[in-house]
Homo-oligomer: A and B are copies of this chain.
Amino acid sequence: MKNSEDAYGQTLLAQYNHRTPTAEIIERDDNYIDTGSDPGLYFSEYDEWSPLERRVIEFAKGRILDVGCGAGRHALYLQQKSFDVTGIDNSPGAIKVCKLRGLKKALVRPISEIDKFKPNSFDTIQMFGNNFGLFGSFETARLILKKFARITAPDAQIIAQSRNPYQTIEPEHLAYLRLNRRRGRMSGQLRIRARFGKTIGEWFDYLFVSPEEMQNILKDTDWQIKEFIEPEAASYFAIINKKLINKIYCFRTLNVHQIIKRPAVE
């Protein structure tokens, strides 16, 4: 992402520099506009997180990749707990903020280029803050899930948060879900862009899915739901495990030591 399009990163930088909560402004392609998250959310400390977030972060294990790490609130917490954690974001401004705040491993990298990491680099991939949405669409999700398989250990997991798009009574949101279905998109496939000052971000797809839709996306991939956490909530988590059935895949990507330690079983 070019700096001149990094409205999201500039929002985070403004907040970092001025030490005041800044609301992000998000436009949807039906002209709907709103302030995206609670001002200050991206910089919230562990004590300010929701009980759900605090519960789910406990699942983090091994070498962790935080996809769409924002201002680094989760990555910094895990780094402080001595985890080996890497944060990536396609926003140069976000990564700048992460580094300024002390995150040691922080990279500007879009999710589409996730396969630049070496095979078996991570044990946990986390997508907090509804960042399952970064998959963008059904097709892209399945493409990236393959890349996720490549860069992770055989017993890796994804910890993902999504928002259930059907949990709304707002007429304008319900109309948007219908519009999406009419134009052959998933209901919750939001086409949005960030705005900050005169900076207008590029349009991109951010995918909200129900637990059932998430199941569908994972079908016949290398990944499967281990458990949903509060699936009935508007914003819920999924613990997604790598399937251990693909022996050929494992032999190709693991070194001998790992195969001995963690045999691939059916």
CB A59 to nearest CB in B, in angstroms, measures 31
* Residue in contact with A35 in the complex, picked from B35, B172, B198, B200, CB distance below 8 Å: B35
Q: Once the chains bind, are B197 and A34 in contact (CB under 8 Å)?
A: yes
Range of interface residues on chain A? 10 to 19
Binding site for B on A (CB under 8 A): 23, 25, 30-35, 39, 172, 195-198, 200
A116 to B265 Cα, complex, angstroms: 84
A31 to B32 Cα, complex, angstroms: 16
Indicate how many identical chains form the complex.
2
A195 to B32 Cα, complex, angstroms: 9
Which residues does chain B contribute within 8 Å of A195, judged by CB atoms?
Answer: 33
Q: Which 10 A-B residue pairs are closest in the complex by CB-CB distance?
A: A33-B195, A32-B198, A23-B35, A23-B23, A31-B198, A32-B197, A172-B197, A172-B198, A25-B33, A25-B25
A23 to B197 Cα, complex, angstroms: 15
Q: Once the chains bind, are B172 and A33 in contact (CB under 8 Å)?
A: no
Which residues does chain B contribute within 8 Å of A200, judged by CB atoms?
Answer: 31
Which residues does chain B contribute within 8 Å of A172, judged by CB atoms?
Answer: 197-198
A222 to B31 Cα, complex, angstroms: 45
A31 to B200 Cα, complex, angstroms: 8
* Further 9 A-B residue pairs, CB within 8 A, beyond A23-B39, A25-B35, A30-B198: A23-B35, A25-B25, A25-B34, A32-B198, A33-B195, A33-B197, A33-B198, A172-B197, A172-B198
Instruction: Considering the complex, give the chain B residue whose CB is closest to the CB of A196.
Output: B33
Contacts A/B (CB < 8 Å), 20 sampled: A23-B35, A23-B39, A25-B25, A25-B33, A25-B34, A25-B35, A30-B198, A31-B198, A31-B200, A32-B197, A32-B198, A33-B195, A33-B196, A33-B197, A33-B198, A34-B197, A35-B35, A39-B39, A172-B197, A172-B198
